[in-house]
Amino acid sequence: MSDSTAEVCILDPALEKVKPTAIVIFGATGDLTHRKIVPAFYHLMKNGRLPDGCVIIGFARRPKSDVEFRAELREAVGQFSHTKPINEAAWNKLAARMYYHQGDLETPADYASLEAKLRTLPESKSYQRNYLFYLATAPTYFGAIAENLSKAGLAPDENSSDVRRLIVEKPFGENLSSARALNKNMHRFFPENTIYRIDHYLGKETVQNLMYFRFGNSIYEPLWNRRYIDHVQITVAERVGVEARGGYYDGAGASRDMLQNHLLQLLTTIAMEPPASLEAESIHDEKVKVLKSIPILSPEKTLQRSARAQYGAGDFDGKSYVAYRSEPKVSPTSLTETYVALKLEVDNWRWSGVPFYLRTGKSLTKQFTEINIVFNRPPSVLFAAVAGAQLRRNCLRMRIQPNEGIHLNFNAKVPGRSQIQLVDMDFRYREDFGSYLPEAYETLMVDALAGESTLFTRHDEVEQAWKLVDSLRDAWASENLKALPTYPCGTMGPLEADDLLSKDGRYWLPVTDD
């Protein structure tokens, strides 16, 4: 492997739009910064995708020197980078552009001193007054940060050409009313077109490819409707439990942590109509139409079409795991779901009558994300003698992670026998495009710097998704349960999730190693 700074040449039109920018990370000593944000910037530097003149300023409460800050982040990159060994030339070049600023998120004076620092850093003549603010903090601070930035003269100015953008992490609110209030508060200081709400799933190369796959291939789009598709399955499975996140997770659960954002974003990408263009607003418009086309059902029907559970104790991979209620910082009487399965329908001309089955959970058999498009069963009378009463359904399986790829199975005759068997046509990203796939945060950082918002979520998308999740949680609250069903660690979830499909004459497709 070459030891040059740019090891991989990646053509990216967004880079042409990137201006030298000062990137300020609020919450710079936190886990997200260490695990995702700084490793992403390191990879951008290594691959020649971070333009000269960009600097990174960490903003956090603890006293720390620039040298100490850089040393901590070097350790984090060594631990969390997805390529090893670390390219020291690339890291040193990035570290030379990293600074630390001590400040309290709710103290206006600390933002005034930040503004002064931004004007006087050695690179300030390069990035001028172009700023990207990354809010890697708890959502309770989003409004205060936006207001304090405005007080310090760091918010967008309609009379200036300076770039001022804001990246916010999920969760964006905890329900519809809080999301609306947060949007309203932040819009006082930052217009909508300067706010970039991250859902890191949208940054994954395989998720981006879904739209190109659908609309860039004439053989699939004519089949993408209720006439040919029986149902759709979307699975986001996590192998780990809550680990050290019990304090956060017990107030969120799978519905808020995963369903409201990741799963519904995957659904809208699969179900959307062809946009008028590839511009961000056109794509967001079509996604919002999908969410608005999902009916809000009565609590009784919602309960019939959903399942929730908590993981119990279990043994797998040679280890013993405790039940969710026994995890640190989790209430022993918690009713927070670690698993949710849901049946939704998109009531429009393309999809009416086609169920979308969504599921996500922790402590499951394996870690993977995939979408299965299950087509209608063909007539089997011609092959009754060799295929029994029914032929198997064709399925288009899109593996988002790991082992990214697209697989189409179809019925074929077994050579030398009067039998029919399902076989696969495979596309694997790493085989066709090489071993390097950019991490989601790498793509999202470049897009935010370039002002490209397609892979971020718009305010009305967020609110419409919360409307659906709120109706689900309201239905659950009406049950007045004292305990949730459980499933053993290392399984694919509770029996109630299987029943959700079996009563419709369907089943969850088997987990594969692809």
Whole-angstrom distance, CA of residue 60 vs CA of residue 64 = 9
Q: Is the dihedral of CA 223, 266, 250, 508 positive or negative?
A: positive
For the chain, domain boundaries: 13-169, 202-502
Neighbouring residues of 207: CB distance < 8 A, sequence distance ≥ 6: 201, 265, 266, 269, 400
Q: Is the pLDDT of residue 470 over 80?
A: yes
DSSP string spanning 130-187? Answer: -EEEEE-S-GGGHHHHHHHHHHTT-S--TT----EEEEEPSP--SSHHHHHHHHHHHH
pLDDT in tens, 149-166: 999 999 998 888 899 999
pLDDT in the model for residue 386: 63
Q: Is the pLDDT of residue 259 over 60?
A: yes
Whole-angstrom distance, CA of residue 514 vs CA of residue 421 = 19
pLDDT in the model for residue 446: 92
**Selection from 246, 223, 244, 442 nearest residue 325 by Cα:** 246
DSSP string spanning 388-413? Answer: TT-PPPPEEEEEEESS-EEEEEEEEE
**Selection from 66, 136, 137, 61 nearest residue 98 by Cα:** 66
pTM exceeds 0.85 for this model: yes
Q: Is the pLDDT of residue 188 over 50?
A: yes
DSSP string spanning 479-509? Answer: T--SS--EEETTBS--HHHHHHHHTTT--PP
CATH level 3 topology of 13-169: Rossmann fold (3.40.50)
**Selection from 148, 152, 109, 107 nearest residue 129 by Cα:** 152
Q: Which two tokens stand for residue 103?
A: 């400040």
Top pLDDT among 78 and 138 is at: 78
CB 110 within 8 A of CB 1: no
Give residue 487's pLDDT band: very low, low, confident or very high (50, 70, 90).
very high
Give residue 382's pLDDT band: very low, low, confident or very high (50, 70, 90).
low
Q: Is the pLDDT of residue 476 over 60?
A: yes
pLDDT in the model for residue 212: 87
pLDDT in tens, 403-429: 888 999 888 878 877 777 788 888 888
Mean pLDDT of 19-42: 95
pLDDT in the model for residue 420: 78
CB 54 within 8 A of CB 127: yes
Q: Of the spans 9-23, 115-129, 420-434, which averages the highest pLDDT?
A: 115-129
pLDDT in the model for residue 9: 43
Please tell me whether residue 235 adopts helix, strand or coil conformation.
Answer: strand
Give residue 388's pLDDT band: very low, low, confident or very high (50, 70, 90).
low
Query: Token match 């511009």: residue?
Result: 279
Mean pLDDT of 32-43: 96
Mean pLDDT of 73-96: 95
pLDDT in the model for residue 381: 64
pLDDT in the model for residue 387: 64
Task: For the chain, give the percent of residues with pLDDT over 90.
Answer: 72
Q: Beta strand 405-413 with 420-428: parallel, antiparallel or unpaired?
A: antiparallel
pLDDT in the model for residue 231: 98
Whole-angstrom distance, CA of residue 358 vs CA of residue 1 = 41
* Active site positions, annotated: 262
Q: Is the pLDDT of residue 514 over 70?
A: no
Q: Is the pLDDT of residue 270 over 80?
A: yes
CATH of 202-502 among 3.40.50.300, 3.50.7.10, 3.30.360.10, 3.40.50.720: 3.30.360.10
pLDDT in the model for residue 18: 84
pLDDT in the model for residue 34: 96
Mean pLDDT of 429-439: 76
Task: For the chain, give the percent of residues with pLDDT over 70.
Answer: 94
Mean pLDDT of 296-324: 93
Query: Token match 């740019």: residue?
Result: 6
Whole-angstrom distance, CA of residue 318 vs CA of residue 321 = 10
pLDDT in the model for residue 1: 38
Top pLDDT among 201 and 254 is at: 254
Q: Which helix (H) or strand (E) holds 420?
A: strand 420-428
Three-state DSSP string of 180-200: HHHHHHHHCCCCHHHEEEECH
Mean pLDDT of 222-236: 96
Please state which of the ranges 71-85, 101-115, 119-133, 157-171 shows the lowest mean pLDDT.
157-171
CB 432 within 8 A of CB 413: no
Mean pLDDT of 432-449: 85
State the burial class of residue 9 (Cβ atoms within 10 Å of its Cβ: 0-12, 13-18, 19+).
exposed
Q: Is the pLDDT of residue 385 over 70?
A: no
Whole-angstrom distance, CA of residue 45 vs CA of residue 474 = 46
Q: Is the pLDDT of residue 12 over 80?
A: no
Q: Is the pLDDT of residue 431 over 70?
A: yes
pLDDT in the model for residue 24: 98
Q: Report CA Rg, the chain.
A: 24
Please tell me whether residue 297 adopts helix, strand or coil conformation.
Answer: coil
DSSP string spanning 322-370? Answer: --GGGSTT--TT----SEEEEEEE--STTTTT-EEEEEEESSBSS-EEE
Q: Is the pLDDT of residue 219 over 70?
A: yes
pLDDT in the model for residue 6: 42
427-439 in b/e form (b: 16+ CB < 10 A) is bebeeeeeeebbb
Mean predicted lDDT score pLDDT of the chain = 91
Whole-angstrom distance, CA of residue 411 vs CA of residue 432 = 25
